[in-house]
Copies of this chain bind each other. A is one copy, B any other.
Amino acid sequence: MSTAERLIESTRELLWERGYTGTSPRAIQQRAGAGQGSMYHHFSGKPELALAAMRRSAEQLRADAEAWLGGPGGAAERITGYLLSEREVLRGCPVGRMAQDPEVVGDPGMSETVDGAFRWLRGRLEEVLEEGRRGGEFPAGLDASGTAAVIAAVLQGGYVLARAAGSAEPFERAVGGVLDLLGIPSAAVAA
């Protein structure tokens, strides 16, 4: 792995664990095993490096979701697969975590990266929900846009509640609950 690559990956991990404010340039250099000169050779500073790391986390969120939402099967099956896909729930969401930090929210490039990932996710969920609604998998009156927002919020809120509890239980209960409200049989949920 190149030094620039190690710096980005180390920043990604630190942002996930400690947030933007809690991540110092020195901590990044230590984790990446890179000197200060090397870091500033590759990046203008922590903001540029953090933006690269956030872009990577946002791409990963999209790739993880698309693997299920764009996969084979009906709409309900793909949404179920995505909601029940394996996650490190107690680490929280590397993208959602960034939204707490005033320095991130106040930076146009960083906040656009974080919000862009969520806008994409909501749009993609809406497409699949709408496909399922038209195909008769969901009630004809389903509000695909509102339900997509519910699903995105349940995932982000599930992470928050799980971290508070020190247990994946609230996340899993909320995900099971939203599938139940969508009328997806709980046998599929338990599987």
CB distance from A106 to the nearest CB of B (A): 9
Q: Are B102 and A18 in contact (CB under 8 A)?
A: yes
Known A18-B102, A19-B100: A146·B161 in contact at CB below 8 Å: no
Docked CA distance A68–B100 (Å): 27
From B143, B157, B174, contact of A160 by CB (8 A): B157
Q: Across the interface, which residues of B come within 8 angstroms of A17, CB to CB?
A: 102
Docked CA distance A27–B158 (Å): 31
Q: Across the interface, which residues of B come within 8 angstroms of A156, CB to CB?
A: 153, 156-157, 160-161
- Confirm or deny: A135 has a beta carbon within 8 angstroms of a beta carbon on chain B: no
Q: Across the interface, which residues of B come within 8 angstroms of A146, CB to CB?
A: 173-174, 176-177, 180
From B100, B150, B158, contact of A177 by CB (8 A): B150
From B22, B102, B158, contact of A157 by CB (8 A): B158
- Confirm or deny: A34 has a beta carbon within 8 angstroms of a beta carbon on chain B: no
CB distance from A59 to the nearest CB of B (A): 16
Q: Are B19 and A164 in contact (CB under 8 A)?
A: no
Among A139-191, those with CB < 8 Å from B are 143, 145-150, 152-161, 163-166, 170-171, 173-174, 176-178, 180-182, 186
**Interface contacts beyond A149-B173, A156-B161: sample of 10 additional A-B pairs, CB < 8 Å, sorted by A:** A19-B22, A22-B101, A96-B161, A96-B164, A115-B166, A145-B173, A146-B174, A149-B161, A149-B170, A153-B174
